[in-house]
Amino acid sequence: MDSTLRIAFDAKRAYHNHRGLGNYSRDVIRLLTTYAPENEYLLYARPTDQYTFAHTQTISPRGVWSLMPSLWRSFGCVHDMDGVDIYWGLSGELPFGIHRKPIKKVITIHDAIFLRYPDLYSAGYRQLFTRKVQYACDHADMIIAISEQTKRDIMDFFHADERKIRVVYQGCNNRFREPVSENSMQIVKQHYALPDKYLLIVGAIEPRKNIQNLIEAISLAGIELPLVAVGAQNKYALQTAELAKKRKVELIYLHDLPFADLPAVYKGTEVFCYPSIFEGFGIPILEAMCVGTPVLTSTGSCFAETGGNAALYADPMHPEEIAQQLTRILSSPDIRRTMIEKGYEQANLFTDEIVANNLISVYKSLNAQQ
């Protein structure tokens, strides 16, 4: 490889996904184009107007492939890779047939939740993604795991060679590191009719995020603060609203919240609650710590890797334990102040510069293999 590399990304989720995988993809592209601008960056995807990426070139399906963009991503794009040095599958996938190309192959795997908790996914989904991720693990020259927990899962479920797995932690958008003024918080609170004090949970409204046990915990503890839940409306959200009503917990849903308003919503809460059953990394933990909000999250999985000694932890399957920890934070200004201070320190382990240097070391190590 030359010192200047042509690095191609599977950019489907960078353009089309508005949640964790999309945020990760956009962040990697932003960090590498910023901290390693000497390379040429190619984005393989059908673009949208919602996101733009400086210092990149987008490679889109052409001809008959434009009618079948998913097939192009899974198969056809390998014919459009002349001169590519590295292909990076940002969400655990490689196009079938790429193993025949003289291209270094990198994948990022976020989790194996679809195998660890199969009941949460359809059989068809599990079969398809097991096949895709297994192919990617078998043929990748380097596998990035976003946590030690994910590394263990990659080895357990896909029998990947430990020697080619690197743990590279994620960061979060720098918007969360910018100061949030009291005025900004008040404007956001007024706009969404939020109370002066509330608890907060952010993420998909689905069983794995465990919002129903959080509601049980709030009820058990007799906490009278409303719970604000940021996430998309769905059938499970409606069921959860019924539970909250029965438990006399005020539940406020914020759907389609603009990203620009999210730091102020984090900053305005008394406690950010993240009682998820399992995650690959848990970016919302980091987002909350960056803005100076105490975090209560779960024992097990990857959560201690992200939260360190700055967060408090509870067994997500025991509402009474969640209730105890919530009460500790809410009843002690000293504990809350200490958690905020430690949160800032913990967040500084995941700065842009640190994450970027770790990502750059991946392709430099590939270069050394030549």
Phi and psi for 267 in degrees, rounded to 5?
Answer: -65, -30
pLDDT tens sequence across 47-76: 998 899 999 999 999 999 999 999 999 999
Cβ atoms of 194 and 188 within 8 Å: the answer is: yes
- The answer to the question of residue 58 being in a domain is yes
| Predicted local distance difference test score (pLDDT) of residue 256 | 85
State the pTM of this model: 0.89
Q: Residues 345, 221: one domain? A: yes
CA angle 224, 186, 225 (to 5 degrees): 5
Q: Residues 47, 147: one domain? A: yes
| Predicted local distance difference test score (pLDDT) of residue 1 | 46
- The answer to the question of residue 117 being in a domain is yes
Q: Residues 251, 334: one domain? A: yes
Strands (E) across 75-131 are located at 86-89, 104-109
Q: Residues 183, 247: one domain? A: yes
Q: Residues 164, 208: one domain? A: no
* Paired sense of beta strands 142-145 and 165-167, if any: parallel
Q: Residues 114, 183: one domain? A: no
The burial class, CB within 10 Å (0-12 / 13-18 / 19+), for 159 is exposed
CA-nearest of 23, 55, 27 to 42 is 55
CATH of the domain at 203: 3.40.50.2000
Rounded CA separation 360/352 (Å): 12
Cβ atoms of 175 and 259 within 8 Å: the answer is: yes
Strands (E) across the chain are located at 6-10, 40-44, 57-59, 86-89, 104-109, 142-145, 165-167, 199-202, 227-230, 251-254, 271-274, 295-298, 312-314
Q: Residues 121, 236: one domain? A: no
- The answer to the question of residue 15 being in a domain is yes
| Predicted local distance difference test score (pLDDT) of residue 20 | 82
Rounded CA separation 130/127 (Å): 5
Sign of CA dihedral 358, 359, 364, 365: positive
Rounded CA separation 203/211 (Å): 10
- The answer to the question of residue 1 being in a domain is no
**What's CA 12's distance to the chain center, in Å?**
16
Cβ atoms of 144 and 107 within 8 Å: the answer is: yes
Q: Residues 166, 211: one domain? A: no
Strands (E) across 176-294 are located at 199-202, 227-230, 251-254, 271-274
CB atoms within 10 A of CB 186: 14
Rounded CA separation 159/336 (Å): 42
Rounded CA separation 164/153 (Å): 14
Q: Residues 32, 132: one domain? A: yes
- The answer to the question of residue 145 being in a domain is yes
Which residues, given as ranges, of the chain have pLDDT below 50? 1
- The answer to the question of residue 305 being in a domain is yes
| Predicted local distance difference test score (pLDDT) of residue 369 | 61
Report how many domains make up the chain.
Answer: 2
Q: Residues 205, 298: one domain? A: yes
Name the β-bridge partners of 296.
273, 312
Residues of the domain holding 282: 174-349
Rounded CA separation 326/273 (Å): 9
Q: Residues 97, 135: one domain? A: yes
Residue 330: both structure tokens together: 């809410």
pLDDT tens sequence across 283-316: 999 999 999 999 999 999 899 999 999 999 999 9
CB atoms within 10 A of CB 252: 18
Rounded CA separation 180/343 (Å): 16
Q: Residues 178, 167: one domain? A: no
